[in-house]
Amino acid sequence: MDQLSEFKSRLYNYQSILKFCYVGDAGAAAWNKMRGDKSFQVGSREISVLERLLIVAMDLSKNSPINVLHIGPGNGIEVPHILKYLNATRGDQYNAIDISESMLSDLKLKMNDSFNACNIKYSTHLLDVERDVDLIKFAANCPTNYKNVYIATGEGTLLASGVVPVNLRKVMRPGDLALFNLDSIGTDSEKICAEYDQSSFREFITGSLRYAKNIGLIKDLAGKFHPTEYDHKTSRVSCRYYLEEIKSDVLLLETLKPNSLEKAEMFFKQLGHQVAYATQYDNAAFGIVCK
């Protein structure tokens, strides 16, 4: 299925269209604006967890050279944290994989100097990790003495459908690791839902509809938000929008936010991963290392 057909099918079949917020010329700018909004804390909590996961990954890799495959690096906010653990003498490498061309060019612009300063070889790959399994394999095709370390982080976007962890499972070689982190709903789901109802976040997630309009899929964005909801059974937050043009709700966002480490671990186990390490940070974020 090409991207347009996939978008159409998601729009009309009530599946999350969040990933289309990032594509298109305005994708990176919209994300950067949202990521810089300090009142929107969801997503910022996870960076502290990432460092713990990297320490564990370095330990499990037992001094083999590392090939990092950073899935959805966004504006590169996590890159300095990752670089701290990479070793140029050992031959470590970094690859950014993202669905968004504008995000990748932004990243290159910002990060070039950091990579050159520490002499780490890096490359970028434009691909949709939900669709292009062969291309992920291609990006991960380093010499067999290397360990691939996949990093998929940042606010559940990549985890909502389960397809990304399943695809990573398909391409992982023995000894490879996958690092995931995700936000917790904590104890107060109403407070988290209220964060999603802020205007700056709503402006960001309607980006997928603006993109749909730009590519001629819809003509008019008129409609109305429903309040954000949390489903305790599925551990998912969802933002729905009534789109007048199609006289139906569309799912602008659906994101996984478990309320316990057990549930977070179970999600990955059910998708075929073996959990090597699991941690919780400050009742706010979870980190999982899969092998």
Ligand X SMILES: C[S@@+](CC[C@H](N)C(=O)[O-])C[C@H]1O[C@@H](n2cnc3c(N)ncnc32)[C@H](O)[C@@H]1O
Q: Please give the size of the binding site for ligand X, defined by CB under 6 A.
A: 23
> Distance between CA atoms of 75 and 34, rounded to whole angstroms?
11
Q: How many CA atoms lie within 13 A of 157 on its CB side?
A: 24
HEC string of 45-78? CCHHHHHHHHHHHHHHCCCCCEEEEEECCCCCCC
> Distance between CA atoms of 64 and 58, rounded to whole angstroms?
9
**Minimum CB–partner distance for residue 44 and ligand X (Å):** 8
Contact 287, 58 (CB under 8 A): no
Please identify which residue in 30, 158, 205, 285 interacts with ligand X, judged by CB under 6 A: 158
Site for ligand X contains 73 (CB under 6 A): yes
**Minimum CB–partner distance for residue 50 and ligand X (Å):** 9
Give the CA radius of gyration of the chain.
Answer: 19
**Minimum CB–partner distance for residue 173 and ligand X (Å):** 20
Select the span of 114-122, 125-133, 194-202, 232-240 touching ligand X (CB under 6 A): 125-133
**Minimum CB–partner distance for residue 29 and ligand X (Å):** 12
Angle at the Cα of 180 (from 167 to 111), degrees rounded to 5? Answer: 95
Site for ligand X contains 24 (CB under 6 A): no
Residues contacting 114, CB < 8 A, separation 6+: 79, 80, 83
Residues contacting 84, CB < 8 A, separation 6+: 51, 54
Select the span of 71-79, 142-150, 184-192, 210-218 touching ligand X (CB under 6 A): 71-79
Site for ligand X contains 100 (CB under 6 A): yes
Residue showing the smallest CB distance to ligand X in the complex: 72
Q: What is the four-CA torsion angle of 278, 281, 285, 290, rounded to 10 degrees?
A: -20
Please identify which residue in 24, 54, 72, 189 interacts with ligand X, judged by CB under 6 A: 72
Select the span of 55-63, 69-77, 245-253, 265-273 touching ligand X (CB under 6 A): 69-77
By CB under 6 A, the residues from 165 to 224 that bind ligand X are none
Residues near ligand X, by CB under 6 A: 19, 22, 35, 43, 71-74, 77-78, 97-100, 103, 128-130, 153-155, 157-158
